[in-house]
Structure 1
Amino acid sequence: MPSSTVTSQPTHLIIVCCHAIYLGGGSEDGCANESNWLIEPFQTGETETYIRHIEAGVAELARNPDTAILVFSGGATKRGRTSRSEGEGYLAVALEKNLFGLDTSTSTPTSTSTPTSTSTPTSPSTPTLRPRIFVDHYATDSYQNVLLPLIQFPLFAQELQARLGGASVEALSPSPSTSPSDTASDDTAGSQAQVLVMTATATDADADVDANLSRSTPTWPTELTIISHAFKRRRFLDLHVPAVRFPVARTTYIGIDPPFDPVRMPEIEEGDRLRGYGAWERDLYGVGDVLRRKRETRGWDEGAFRVETLGRFSPKARRKVENVLASRGRDDGRAPWESADAEDGTGT
C-alpha cells in the first residue's frame, strides 16, 4: 500500500448510539420512510430522531476534523430478519443524506480527485469526513455502546492512518466476517450497498493495521462525546461512563429526544428509571440474568468479538482490554485509556 500520510493520531471519540436498523430504500424518500427501518412497535414515529442523532454526530465530527473519529455503535440485533448491523444502517443514512454538504467519500480529496459517493464535489481544502467515520458492529446495549468503541479505538486509529495514506479500504474494520450478500441486497440497500460491503478475508489495509498494532503502543482517546436520547443522560454519565473507567469530566453528552407529548414524556422517564437506569444501577456491567439475557437475545457473541477484535492486539495490550471486557467490578487494574496508562504502557 502507499506510505501513510503523516497525520496526528485521533484523541477524540464521538459515539452515536444506534437504536434501530435502516435497511435502505430504493424509493426517493429513503430513510425518511419509516417502513425502510426495522423497529419495535414502541419506536413508531422515532426514526426521524435517529436521523437527528446521526446528523449531530457528523456535525460534531465536522467541528473536530483533525482530532476526532465518529463511530456508529450498534450490532446486528435482528439476525432473524437481517444480518445488517444498526451501525451499518446509520452509516447508510449519513451517506444517503450527504449530510451538511460535506464530502463523505472514502478517499482524501486532491485537486484531481472525484468523490466516490453521491456527495457534492469538493475543493482541495474541503475536509473529508468519510475516512474518520467507522462502525462498531458488536454493541447490543447502552453499556456496550460506550465500552466496545473504546476498546476498538486503536484499530480505528490505525485504519485511519491507512485510509489517509491512500489505501483502498473496503471493509469497515474491525468487522465480523460476513459476505457481501449477508450485508444487504441491492433491493434493500440501494446504491450505497457497495460502501458497506465487508469481505470474509482481511484486506491489505487490514493486514497493515494488524501488523502496526501488534508492534506499537495503542492509541486511546482523551475525550469522549456520546450522542443518544436526552432522557438517558443520567444512565450514561452516572453509570456507564464511570463503569468503563473513562473520566466523566472529559465526557460530553448530547441528548436528543423524540417529540414526546407532555403526557408520554413522564411515562418514558419513569420507564427508564425503572427498567433502564434502575436495571443498570443494580447491574453495572450487564452480567446478571436480566441484562445478560437481553444482550444474548440481541445477538451478542463475546467469542466472536474476542477473536475478531481482541486478537488483533499485541499480547500485553490484549490483556489490558480483556480485563476491561471481563470486568465485574472486582479487579483494581486500570483501564488502558486511564491517564496513568501512559506511564506503564500497553504495547508489546
Structure 2
Amino acid sequence: MLSSPDLSTYTNLVIVCCHAIYLGSRSTPDADPYDEIAWLLQHFQKSTATKQSEHETFIHHVTTGLNMTRTGAWRNKSILVISGGRTKRNITELSESESYYHALLHTSDEVRSHAQQAFTAGTLLLEEHATDSYQNLLFSIIAFRKRTGRYPGSIRVVTHAFKARRFLELHANAIRWPKKSITVSGIDPPMDWDEYTVTTSGEASKGYMPWTDDPHGVRNVLSEKRRARGWDPTVKVLLAQGLESSVQDLVHWNGGLEGNLPFPQEKKLVWELDCHADGL
C-alpha cells in the first residue's frame, strides 16, 4: 500500500488544459486513445485529407504533464491538475478531465501505472468545471489550494503553443498572478504553413482579442461560449467555499458595473502577498 506523500514539498502546479473528450473508460480496457473515432472532436480538430487529427496532440499534452511531475527538476514537487469540464452534456456526462485520465490509463502499461499511483496519492487531480482557458488557470489554482492548503509557488501550463500569449499576457494578469511564477509548455498539432497561418490568425481574432476587453469572461461573447459548453454558474459557490475572502470575491467577480472592469486593486489576493502563503 502506497503511503501518502508529504505535501509540504509539493510547491509547483502543472496544469493540463483539456480540449476534447475521450470516450474510453475504466470499464473498457481495450479502448485505444490513439484511435480518432474514440474521441468527441470539433470539426476543426478532426482529420481531413490534408491534416492530421488533433487527438494525438491531446494525448501528448496529458502525458507531458504527467512526466513533468515524475522526472526532472519538478519531480516530487508538483501537483498535476487535469482541467476540463462536462462540455458535451447532450452526448455524455463525462468531463474532459476524467476522459483525459482514462486516456492515460489506456496509453501504455507504464503510463497507466504512474497515473494510477499519482491519482491514488492525490498528486493527480481532476478539475471538472472549467469551460475555457481562464477557468482552466483559476480553477486549477483553487484545486491545488484545496489539496495542499496553500497556493503554488510556480505554475506550468501545458496547452497549445499558440495560446501562450493568452495565458501569460491576459489570464495571469487578470487574476494578478506573478509574471515570474507562470510558464507555458506549448505543444501544437503538426501544421503546414497554411494551417499555421490560419490557426494563429484565428487565435489572435477569436481566442486572444475577446479577452482583452473582457478579462474575466463574463460579457456576452465569452459567457455565451461558456454556456454552450455546459457552464453552470452556481458551481462558483462550491469553488469558493473555504477560500480566503479576496479569492472568493475573485471567483464571483462579474466585471463590475461596466461588465469588463478588472478585479479591484484594493482587494489583495493571497498570491500577491506570498505565492507560498498557507491558506486560512
State TM-score, norm by structure 1.
0.69
Q: Secondary structure at the match of 1:16?
A: strand
Question: 1:194 maps to which residue?
Answer: none
2-structure distance, mates of 1:235, 1:41: 23
Q: Corresponding residue for 2:55?
A: 47
Q: Which residue of 2 aligns with 1:11?
A: 11
Deviation, structure 1 residue 226: 0.2
Residue in structure 1 matched with residue 141 of structure 2 by the alignment: 150
SS at the partner of 1:8? helix
DSSP-derived class of the 2:141 partner: helix
- The alignment yields a C-alpha RMSD, in angstroms, of 2.5
Deviation at 1:5, TM superposition (A): 6.3
2:63 aligned counterpart, secondary structure: helix
What CA distance in whole angstroms lies between the structure 2 residues aligned with 1:289 and 1:330? 18
Equivalent of residue 60 in structure 1, options 63, 68, 76: 68
Match of 1:331 in 2: 264
Deviations 1:105-138 (A, max 9, x none): 656xxxxxxxxxxxxxxxxxxxx67521111000
- Please name the residue that 1:270 is paired with: 201
Report matched runs for 1:196-275 at 5 Å.
Answer: 218-275=149-206
Partner of 1:304: 235
Partner of 1:83: 93
Q: 1:141 aligns with which of 118, 127, 132?
A: 132
Percent identity reads: 35
The letter of the residue matching 1:76 is R
Change (3 A) 1:98 1:335: farther
Aligned to 1:70: 80
Deviation at 1:17, TM superposition (A): 0.4
SS for the counterpart of 1:71 is strand
Give the conservation status (yes or no) of the 8 Å contact 2:66–2:115.
no
Task: Determine the C-alpha separation between the residues in 2 that align with 1:106 and 1:296.
Answer: 32
1:18-37 matches, within 5 Å, as 18-24=18-24, 26=28, 28=30, 30-37=32-39
* Mapped contact 2:80–2:124 kept (Cα < 8 A): yes
Q: Structure 2-normalised TM-score? A: 0.85
Question: CA distance change for structure 1 residues 294 and 331 in 2, over 3 Å: closer, same or farther?
Answer: same
Matches of 1:4 and 1:222, distance apart in 2: 21
Task: Provide the rounded CA distance (Å) in 2 between the counterparts of 1:80 and 1:156.
Answer: 31
Letter in 1 for 2:23: L
User: Equivalent residue for 1:290?
Assistant: 221
Measured in 1, the distance between the counterparts of 2:6 and 2:158 equals 30
For structure 2, list consecutive stretches of 5 or more residues without a partner in the other structure. Answer: 47-52, 256-261
2:258 corresponds to: none
Of 21-30 and 288-297, more deviation after overlay is shown by: 21-30
In 2, the alpha carbon distance for the partners of 1:273 and 1:153 equals 30
For 1:94 and 1:54, locate their aligned partners in 2 and report how far apart those are by CA, in whole Å: 7
Assess, with a 3 A threshold, how the Cα gap between structure 1 residues 4 and 52 changes in structure 2: closer, same or farther. closer
Amino acid at match of 1:339: L
Amino acid at match of 2:221: V
Is the 1:74–1:87 contact (alpha carbons within 8 Å) kept by the matching residues of 2? yes
SS in 2 for 1:31: coil
- The one-letter amino acid paired with 2:268 is R
Gap change, CA 1:248 and 1:4, over 3 Å in 2: same
Q: What SS is found at the alignment partner of 2:247?
A: helix
CA contact (8 A) 1:65 1:129 kept: no
Q: Structure 1, residues 76-126: CA drift from partner, whole Å, max 9, x if none?
A: 00101001000001111112224755733656xxxxxxxxxxxxxxxxxxx
| Offset, 1:268 | 0.7
> How much has 1:254 moved relative to structure 2?
0.5
> Which AA in structure 2 matches 1:338?
E
Once the two structures are overlaid, the 10-residue window that deviates more, 77-86 or 25-34, is 25-34
CA distance in 2, matches of 1:39, 1:5: 36
Structure 1 residues 340 and 32: CA distance shift in structure 2, 3 A: closer
Which amino acid letter does the alignment assign opposite residue 148 of structure 1? F
Query: What are the equivalent positions in structure 2 for 1:44-193 lying under 5 Å apart?
Result: 44=46, 45-63=53-71, 64-98=74-108, 103-104=113-114, 106=116, 131=121, 132-157=123-148
Q: Residues 100 and 4 (structure 1 numbering): CA distance in 2 closer, same or farther, change over 3 Å?
A: closer
